[in-house]
Chain A
Amino acid sequence: MKRFDKITPEGTRDILFRECDAKNMAQSAMEKIFRSHGFRQVTTPGVEFYDVFRGAAGYFRQEAMYKLTDHKGRLLVLRPDSTIPIARMTATKLQNEPLPLRLFYRQEVYRMSPAMSGRSDQISQCGAELIGAGGRRADLEMLLLADRCLAACTVEDVTLELGHIGLFQSLVSALEAAPEQKERLRDYMENKNYGGLDELLSRLPASREAEALRRLPRLFGGAEVFEEAAALCDNPEFCRVLGYLKELYALLEKSGLGSRLMMDFGMVHQAEYYTGILFRAYLKGAGEPVLSGGRYDSLLEDFQIDRPAIGFGANIDLLAAQLLAAGKPENAAPDLLLHALPGYELKAFRCAEEAVARGLCCENSLAESREDAVAFAKARGIPRIRFVGEALEDVEVEG
């Protein structure tokens, strides 16, 4: 029988050395920002009951979840997302905490990708949730927080993109269309499938809302899209949402985000989950968003409590890849190899402690001879060896 004992499953990989360092660098930078703004860390189990994710609207496709069973035969999944478990936890264990709750997490999520697609099934995420607060001030806090987080762990500027599910929803709810048609409209909107959208809308009764829907996915870019959107339609809800976005945009612009902020009025990703603003961040070279988030005011109702909430999660793997490509963090070989001559092992250990106290990184040599120690230092890229005997002798290692 073929044994698979030397490879990792498709969609997973070992992560070594500098790549770990880069992930830590991104995570620590974000964590520092979260902590300094009063966010508290939580960790949820890697394995949850399937029922947690089955929720009213089925936010995650069942075929994308890794499943297993517990000893009673109940269905379990590897956590495909962190926000839903945090909602579960909030609804059960944190009901009496003062609101709003500020939580952050750094943990893996698992999503089964189609075979041979070259995607990772295990994704490191770091994100924050602000639970129990609605409205402009909370939205603004999280948008600014997301921007600060990304600024702290990216080399080049990130483009932050803002939208609102209410634009699409206000227009669609005014249409005379069957639920399946509305669902297809949402798919076309999400994929910016202009052709499909035109074709489907032309078969529905004409209205200003239908006309506005045709234009909506094309409305992305800078401040200029507000004007065009305002001319589209006089639907009161649409206008209200647009006004709200304009207000946010002005505030964000004032805070210095201007040049890296863009709007996308056609953004509708995971519409069943989000209820208000939606945002994403893009980085040159990464083909998908490095951060994504939004307001999800009705998610906690699935767990029988009523709390407005907003959150975002960043893809640490993409952020780490970007750091690595820019040569960060630097490859950190130890500064010093300490080789004890026979009988001086304890002295060498004390020497190492002293060097470490001065901020150096020291590795202990376990080589049998001086020559072996030099060869090891060379191979490992350690620039200096300190031989510890009665006296100390430093030798530079030729690269």
Chain B
Amino acid sequence: MEALRIALTKGRLEKNTLSLLEDMGLDCTELREKGRRLILPIPGTNIEVVLAKAADVITYVEHGVCDLGIVGEDTILESGSSLYELTDLGFGRCRFALAVKKGTSFYEGYRAKTVATKYPNIARNYFEGKSLDVSVIKIEGSVELAPLLGLADGIVDIVETGSTLRENGLEVSDVICEISARVVANMASLKLRKAEIESLVEKMEQEVRKRA
């Protein structure tokens, strides 16, 4: 039988995802000792795990080369792709926020404002929703730099504890939305492999409820 492929996000969500899978009774030794391999089987099941960068998880699932994915909602929102978003896994919780230099107001004055962000689509959608013309600059690295250097009036970014902001003299102006890790599914896969996917997702949900 054809393997059920799950794409997992490397990095920030990886540890939590692995412990979730292990608590569900899946053998993740191959994943823990992956070396340089990118496609890893879970012994005793027909599941294959693919480790990928967050945005690529979405791409693989949307094209149907992976059936399921575990990825942060930030990436889903930014990509605007069409896939099924089945379950909130509860970990990887953080907020999308607009942050500005402490003591300043983003909305003050008549001058058109500029924001720096790694998430240009989310930033653009947010300000479009407020009928505001804001120019969005895409920055790849530490976006906190942009307002400090005078490139932007604010940043749109993920805020977990807020300590990076504080250390750089920034503060949250608006909370845009709360996000967390999600299970996504390819639209055709969910229909064609309903039983397998549902039983796996149900186990995940049980585990998530146990933790809560």
Q: Which residues of A line the B interface, CB within 8 A?
A: 114, 117-118, 159, 161, 191-196, 220-221, 262, 264, 282-289
Q: Is A196's CB under 8 angstroms from B187's CB?
A: no
Residues 142-186 (chain B) with a chain A CB within 8 angstroms: 182, 185-186
Shortest distance between the CB of A314 and any CB in chain B (Å): 15
With A282-B188, A282-B192 as contacts: A288 and B64 at CB distance below 8 Å? yes
B135, CB-defined interface residue at 8 Å: no
B141, CB-defined interface residue at 8 Å: no
CA distance A220 to B198 in the complex (A): 11
Shortest distance between the CB of A306 and any CB in chain B (Å): 32
CA distance A285 to B67 in the complex (A): 10
Residues from chain B with Cβ under 8 Å of A192 in the complex: 84-86, 185, 190
Q: Is A195's CB under 8 angstroms from B188's CB?
A: no
Q: Is A194's CB under 8 angstroms from B189's CB?
A: no
Q: Mark interface residues in B85-120 (1 if CB within 8 Å of A CB, else 0).
A: 111100000000000000000000000000000000
Sorted nearest first, the 10 A-B pairs with minimum C-beta distance are: A287-B64, A195-B88, A192-B84, A193-B85, A282-B188, A287-B63, A191-B85, A282-B191, A287-B186, A287-B188
CA distance A283 to B88 in the complex (A): 28
With A159-B192, A220-B194 as contacts: A289 and B187 at CB distance below 8 Å? yes
Shortest distance between the CB of A319 and any CB in chain B (Å): 14
Name 8 interchain pairs, CB-CB below 8 A, sorted by A.
A118-B59, A192-B84, A193-B84, A282-B191, A283-B188, A284-B192, A286-B188, A288-B64
CA distance A95 to B49 in the complex (A): 57
Q: Is B194's CB under 8 angstroms from A287's CB?
A: no
Shortest distance between the CB of B129 and any CB in chain A (Å): 10
Residues 13-66 (chain B) with a chain A CB within 8 angstroms: 59, 62-65
Q: Residue A194 contacts which of B86, B186, B188 (CB distance < 8 angstroms)?
A: B86
CA distance A288 to B186 in the complex (A): 8
Q: A161-B191, A191-B85 are in contact. List 8 more A-B contacts (CB 8 A).
A: A191-B82, A192-B185, A195-B88, A195-B182, A262-B194, A282-B188, A287-B186, A288-B188
Q: Residue B85 contacts which of A195, A262, A285, A288 (CB distance < 8 angstroms)?
A: A195
Residues from chain B with Cβ under 8 Å of A286 in the complex: 64, 188
Shortest distance between the CB of B118 and any CB in chain A (Å): 17
CA distance A33 to B190 in the complex (A): 30
How many chain-B residues does the 8 Å CB contact rule pick out? 23
CA distance A195 to B181 in the complex (A): 11
Residues from chain A with Cβ under 8 Å of B85 in the complex: 191-196
- CB-nearest residue of chain A to B187: A288
CA distance A195 to B90 in the complex (A): 10
CA distance A195 to B87 in the complex (A): 6
Q: Is B188's CB under 8 angstroms from A289's CB?
A: yes
Q: Is B83's CB under 8 angstroms from A191's CB?
A: yes
- CB-nearest residue of chain A to B84: A192
CA distance A58 to B142 in the complex (A): 39
Residues from chain A with Cβ under 8 Å of B194 in the complex: 220-221, 262
Shortest distance between the CB of A266 and any CB in chain B (Å): 10
Residues from chain A with Cβ under 8 Å of B186 in the complex: 287
Residues from chain A with Cβ under 8 Å of B182 in the complex: 195
Q: Is A194's CB under 8 angstroms from B87's CB?
A: yes
Residues from chain B with Cβ under 8 Å of A262 in the complex: 191, 194
Q: Residue B84 contacts which of A114, A191, A283 (CB distance < 8 angstroms)?
A: A191
- CB-nearest residue of chain B to A199: B88
Q: Residue B189 contacts which of A193, A287, A289 (CB distance < 8 angstroms)?
A: A287
Most A CB contacts (10 A, CB to CB) among B82, B83, B192 go to: B192
- CB-nearest residue of chain B to A222: B194
Residues from chain B with Cβ under 8 Å of A287 in the complex: 62-65, 186-189
CA distance A262 to B198 in the complex (A): 15
- CB-nearest residue of chain B to A195: B88
Shortest distance between the CB of A394 and any CB in chain B (Å): 47
CA distance A284 to B67 in the complex (A): 11
Residues from chain B with Cβ under 8 Å of A191 in the complex: 82-85
Shortest distance between the CB of B10 and any CB in chain A (Å): 20
Residues from chain B with Cβ under 8 Å of A289 in the complex: 187-188
Residues from chain A with Cβ under 8 Å of B185 in the complex: 192
Q: Is A264's CB under 8 angstroms from B191's CB?
A: yes
Shortest distance between the CB of A271 and any CB in chain B (Å): 14
Q: Is A118's CB under 8 angstroms from B63's CB?
A: yes
Residues from chain A with Cβ under 8 Å of B83 in the complex: 191
- CB-nearest residue of chain A to B186: A287
Residues from chain B with Cβ under 8 Å of A220 in the complex: 191, 194
Q: Mark interface residues in B65-91 (1 if CB within 8 Å of A CB, else 0).
A: 100000000000000101111111000
- CB-nearest residue of chain B to A221: B194
CA distance A196 to B185 in the complex (A): 15
- CB-nearest residue of chain B to A119: B63
- CB-nearest residue of chain A to B63: A287
CA distance A195 to B82 in the complex (A): 16
CA distance A192 to B62 in the complex (A): 14
